[in-house]
Amino acid sequence: MPRLRVHNFTLSLDGYGAGPDQSVEEPLGAGGEQLHDWLFRTRGGKEMLGEPGGSTGVDNDYFRAGETDIGATIMGRNMFGPVRGSWNGSQWRGWWGDNPPFHHPVFVLTHHPQPPIEMEGGTVFHFVDGGIEAALEQAFSAAGGLDVRLGGGASTVRQYLRAGLVDELHLAVVPVLLGGGERLFDQLGGAIEGYGIVRFTGSDSVLHAQLARKPQQ
C-alpha cells in the first residue's frame, strides 16, 4: 500500500526545524539555512544543483532514499513561498526556479486556492484548500501507486503526525544550535506513542533517525 513518507527533515541539536524570525530573506529563520548544509555536501544534493562531486556514504544514501518511489509531494504553503493571505495575482512560482527538483505533482496546502502552475520537467503545483486529508487523497491518486512525500515545514508535518497519517519519518539531527525557532516535537499530544525508532545511525556530521508507525494493534 502506498505510504506517506517524510525524508531529510533536519533538526538542530536543540530541536528546531527552522530558526527564529522567519522572513522572505531568511525563509528558514535566523541561522536556519545551515541546517541543510549536509544535504548539499552529498553527491545527490550536488547533482540536484547541477554540480559535480559530493559525498557518497550514509548521508547520500538517505538523500537518495527521499527521491525513490515517490509519485507526488505535499508541502505547506510557507514551504512553497513567502506570500501570505490571498495570492492577489502574485506571480510567485516557488523557490526552485523554472525546473523544480520534484518532477511530479506537488500539492500545496493553502486556505487560498488558485489554478495549478505547470513548471518545466514535470512539476505541477496544485493548491488544495480542503485540508490535510483531502490533500493526501489527491496526492495518493496523482502518485499512481507510488508513495507520497511530505515536505515541510514543521507545522505541516506536525499536523499529519497528529492525525496519524505519516507512515515513515526520517530525521536528521545536525551539530547546529539555533537557540529558538520552530520545533517539530511540540504539541503532538499522544501521537508520538504510535511511532517507534527503527534506525539510528550517527556520523560525525549528522545523526539519522528513522521513525515508523507501529503496526495497528
The footprint of a second copy (CB under 8 A) covers 13-15, 171, 173, 175-177, 179, 183, 185, 188, 190-193, 195-197, 200-207, 209, 211
Nearer to a second copy by C-beta: 83 or 209? 209
- Quote the least distance from Cβ 90 to a second copy, whole Å: 36
- Quote the least distance from Cβ 209 to a second copy, whole Å: 6
- Quote the least distance from Cβ 13 to a second copy, whole Å: 6
Nearer to a second copy by C-beta: 103 or 213? 213
Cell reading at 51: 554540480
Nearer to a second copy by C-beta: 72 or 154? 154
Of the candidates 214, 211, 204, which has an alpha carbon nearest to the alpha carbon of residue 59? 204
Strand, helix or coil for residue 209: strand
Contact 139, 5 (CB under 8 A): no
Nearer to a second copy by C-beta: 25 or 204? 204
- Quote the least distance from Cβ 188 to a second copy, whole Å: 7
CA atoms within 13 A on the CB side of 183: 8
Cell reading at 199: 534506525
> Helices marked H in the chain — which ranges?
37-40, 43-48, 58-65, 77-80, 132-143, 154-162
The CA angle 129-134-138, to the nearest 5 degrees, is 105
Nearer to a second copy by C-beta: 13 or 134? 13
- Quote the least distance from Cβ 21 to a second copy, whole Å: 13
Nearer to a second copy by C-beta: 49 or 192? 192
- Quote the least distance from Cβ 100 to a second copy, whole Å: 31
Query: What DSSP string runs through 67-113?
Result: TTTEEEEEEEHHHH-S--S--TT-----SS-SS-S--SEEEEE-SS-
